[in-house]
Structure 1
Amino acid sequence: MLTPQQTAIVKATVPALEAHGETITRLFYASMFQAHPELLNIFNPANQKTGRQARSLAASVLAYAANIDHPERLGGMVGRIAHKHVSLEVLPEHYPIVGEHLLGAIATVLGDAATPEILDAWAAAYGQLAEIMIGVEDRMYTGAAEQPGGWRGFKPFRVVGKVQESRVIASLVLEPVDGQPLPDFRPGQYLSVKVRVPGQDTDQIRQYSLSDAPNSRTYRIAVKRELAPQSDPFAPGGLISNFLHDDVQEGDELLVHTPAGDFCLQDSERPVVLLSGGVGVTPMLSMLNALVASGSDRPVLFVHATLGASAHAFREHVNELARTHAHIRKLVYYTDVTAEDRPGEHHDEAGLIRLETLRPHLPQGGAEYYYCGPEGFTQAVENILDRLNVPAERRFTETFGPSQSFAPVLAPAGAAG
């Protein structure tokens, strides 16, 4: 239990965390993996190389420290991290390992500034956070396993359909090998897939958004082929995405976890604006299809931005829904328009998403806004929503990879618990 003095010490170390957070977390991961290489079966090494995982951990530690005396503000952050942990099968026995190496990294980076009092305070703070996370995750594990059709861990699924949706996106339709009915999921959630690529020493787990409405028989995910970065064409592309594109075929089996994720379509009667960039279209398509399947007449504006026709996944499906449902409208932006891209059929606007071209299409009333895509796209949408004065409670977003900031899911000061 944190004492008031320890709470004050933790809060007082926030400036040091801001100054050294990423250095601490990079050292933490390096030392932990050296001592426990088996944990490489859980963590995505690509995020380690880019530093995204270190920045994400630094952001979460900083948010925790800054709000440690107001735990009611941390609910959204705890929930988002817990969903990710559950999708990776993070277990209670992993927490002492993390704590040991995190405290060791703090001591190493801060040096003489890391007094015994500071380290004791952080040990108590980490213990409190671990207790909270373990409790939340245990309830999630139990709920996922005990729901109709649920299971614990990773379960074998067979690929019963594979469709090339665009130049870089392929859909995989997955059916449980045991033939049992599947639990429902909330539109917007994702699946974790565990793969051991031939020639690799560790398993790899990746999350892919579900891209259809629940149907109790199959799950569908969409996978973007991650190419080598243009800045380094000799660098390898995404190990797992390329394996799923090139090597996994109908009839093959994959290990799949129960659906997870806190980015979900809300149960309300408000109009809905679904905004996606690139492969961010997949959770939006799940939401759109679920609204159609439910018979809902909530006004929907489906906004999608992509490079051009060759990269435009699910175009005909969305166009057909817009043609056959009066309450559904679509608005498509192409950033790299070619002579073959036909306005009105392939796209509606050329260039980047902008308030001036979006505003005339927005539904009347207090719409809910859901958005997902690359960082530049989500920042553009955030700026648009700021200019529209859309309150935080009507904004819902998902990030690609580890969250670099938990601001969208931290309750504001003064919020009720």
Structure 2
Amino acid sequence: MVKQLDPHKLEVIKQTLPVVKEHGEAITKKFYQRLFESHPELKNMFNMTHQITGHQPKALADAVYGAAANIEDLSQIMPILERIGQKHRSLQVKPEHYPIVGEHLLGAIKEILGDAATDEILDAWADAYQIISSAFIKMEEGFYKSAETQAGGWGGFKNFIIDKKVKESEVITSFYLKPEDGEELPSFLPGQYITVKVEIPQEEYTHLRQYSLSDRPGLEYFRISVKREGSKGEDIGPGVVSTDLHQLYNEGDVLPISAPAGDFYLDVNSNRPVVLISGGVGLTPVTSMLHTINANQPDRRVVFIEAVQNGSVHAFREEVRKVSEQNPNIASYFIYTQPSNEDREKEYFDREGYVTLEWLQEVLPSKDAQFYFCGPLPFMQVVNSALKQWEVPKEDVHYEFFGSFGNLEDA
């Protein structure tokens, strides 16, 4: 039974929510500073790039505010809680970490709000945090059990060997991963990701990154397709892990990974038409969905739309075309925003420009479909806006952010 906040403390939370929201990012930045100073070993679990860019403090601020605002009934934000809980399981966040987080979160509130954070207010927020953390611990217990007990499953991180490394475009490389112990692989839901533990030369801490599985379940390997972001400099900034994967990790090398996780996945129990829309490297989870449908539900209607800059950065072009040419129920469309002369000569793409509502209405037989999309934030905002204008039911719209948590409605 979920503990309830007593009426007086609930009223204190409601009264202080606006102040906590106003100072949310300052509080969470202070929280991470305190946390890492007190427990530097936890840097092994966090994406430090998101600390540098400020994405993680903002995401945490939004999550804390959202949970506190719904403290009377956390089921109202269950999709958000599940997304965070799946991420926690993939990163191996355990119950013993929650008291540490609570201590430094309350300490950060006290530091930022000063005398305004009275003992009464801190006591109310402590109880609220206890309710929220207990909900996460219970949820994540189920995620851990599911990951460890299913056929081929495991707990923690398990060593995988890079069996094959394939350059898919100028910026994307695929890694075919097989378990070092030769055991069978667990199934997963198309769209889910794995967490990879990467050792960076001269770095004290390991780095964890999530990469979507880009091929279907039921194969003898996991495939991830990694976009090289930026370049490696003196600091751990954007792209350092992906750059090292591209440059330093080769066939035969070992990568520890955690079992598949994630709340963005294809409804495999439905036979309704599906529209898969991707921008850039956002094609990885929807490519897994495409291959899964083609293998297991070949009669299911699919429209696959992929938007990229040009042919040089276009991954899986031949792979996707082959599927759509062989299966009459699958249609594919490639959109280039800046095609080269070679792209035009070889007819690599179907449309020059961008995804628009008008174009979607031209190529899609109907809006009666399940829509899945992934890509850069501006791209997803455009797609989401188009689907809202078309009045596609909210329950048929599914998307995933790469990186820290977010909500398209608030972006």
Whole-angstrom distance in 2 between the partners of 1:62 and 1:353: 34
What secondary structure is seen at the aligned counterpart in 2 of 1:25?
Answer: helix
Q: Structure 2: which 5+ residue stretches go unaligned? A: none
> In 1, distance between residues paired with 2:219 and 2:167?
23
Quote the Cα distance in structure 2 between the aligned partners of 1:216 and 1:198: 32
TM-score (normalizing by structure 2): 0.95
Partner of residue 64, structure 1: 67
Partner of 2:361: 359
Alignment of 1:149-164 (within 5 A): 149-164=152-167
> What SS does structure 2 have at the residue aligned with 1:90?
coil
Q: Which residue of 2 aligns with 1:402?
A: 404
C-alpha separation in 2, matches of 1:316 and 1:61: 44
Aligned residue type for 1:122: W
Match of 2:256 in 1: 255
Using the alignment, how far apart are the partners of 1:254 and 1:331 within structure 2? 34
Amino acid at match of 1:221: I
Aligned partners of 1:43 and 1:204 also within 8 Å: yes
- Residue from 46, 50, 57 that aligns with 1:47: 50
Letter in 1 for 2:11: A
Task: Summarize the Cα distance change of 1:257–1:236 in structure 2 as closer, same or farther, 3 Å threshold.
Answer: closer
Residue 413 of structure 1 corresponds to none
The aligned amino acid for 2:241 is I
Tell me, what secondary structure is at the counterpart of 1:249?
Answer: coil
Runs of 4+ deviating beyond 4 Å: 232-237
Whole-angstrom CA distance in 1 between matches of 2:231 and 2:176:
26
The structure 2 residue matched to 1:105, chosen from 105, 108, 116, is 108
CA distance in 2, matches of 1:195, 1:6: 44
Q: 1:184 aligns with which of 179, 182, 187?
A: 187
> Residue 258 of structure 1 aligns to a residue in which SS?
strand
Contact 2:231–2:243 (CA under 8 A) maintained in structure 1: no
RMSD: 1.8
TM, length-normalised to structure 1: 0.94
The answer to whether the 8 Å contact 2:49/2:236 transfers is: no
Specify the code of the residue in structure 1 equivalent to 2:140.
E
CA contact (8 A) 1:183 1:216 kept: no
Distance 2:284 2:142 in 1: 28
* CA positional deviation for 1:237: 5.0
What corresponds to 1:168 in structure 2?
171
What one-letter code is carried by the residue in structure 1 that aligns with 2:271?
E
Preserved contact between residue 188 and residue 217 of structure 2 (Cα < 8 Å): yes
Structure with larger RCO (C-alpha < 8 A, sep 6+) = 1
The answer to which of 8-17 and 124-133 deviates more is: 8-17
Aligned AA (1:208): Y
Which residue in the other structure is 1:415 paired with? none
> Tell me, which stretches of 5 or more residues in structure 1 are unaligned?
409-417
Alpha-carbon distance between aligned partners in 2 of 1:103 and 1:407, rounded to the nearest angstrom: 29
Paired position in structure 1 for 2:393: 391
**What is the 5 A alignment of 1:9-408?**
9-228=12-231, 237-266=238-267, 267-342=269-344, 345-364=347-366, 366-405=368-407
Identity of aligned residues (%): 46
Q: Distance in 2 between matches of 1:349 and 1:116?
A: 61
